[in-house]
Structures are given as structure tokens and as C-alpha cells.
Amino acid sequence: MADYKVTVEEQADGKWACFLHVPGEEPYNLGKSFKNEDRAEAWLTVGEATTAIDMAVAKLTKK
């Protein structure tokens, strides 16, 4: 599987989102926005996040 990392970043609208970083690709927004950083980080521990990350990694590395 590809090397990747996930970051939590504040967006221009003040909400927080999780981004997948795969070498050679632009950061990929995992599709959820949160009111604060803690909620975004907590989302990364649930199965929905794991599924979203796995699907995004597969999509980005399939090219």
C-alpha cells in the first residue's frame, strides 16, 4: 500500500477538515467538515473514516 498521511486543517470558512496526503498527489479532502479540530480528530478514530481513507488511497494510487 502507498505511503500516506492524514492531517486535520482549518479551512477558509473556519471549519476543520481531514485531508489525505499521498506522495505525488494534491491533498485530498475526505469530505467531512467539523466545527472544531477536536471533532475532526475524533472522526479519524471511527470506521467511517477508515473506510473513506482506504477508498481514497485506492483511488489515488490506481492511476
Q: Give CA 22 to chain center in angstroms.
A: 10
Q: What is the pLDDT of residue 56?
A: 96
Which CATH number is correct for 5-56, 1.10.3470, 1.10.3110, 2.30.29, 3.30.160?
Answer: 3.30.160
List strand residue ranges (DSSP E) for the chain, in order: 5-10, 16-21, 28-34
pTM (2 d.p.): 0.89
Q: What is the pLDDT of residue 63?
A: 67
Name 10's Cβ contacts closer than 8 Å, sequence gap at least 6: 16, 37
Domain limits, the chain = 5-56
| pLDDT tens for each residue of 4-14 | 999 999 999 99
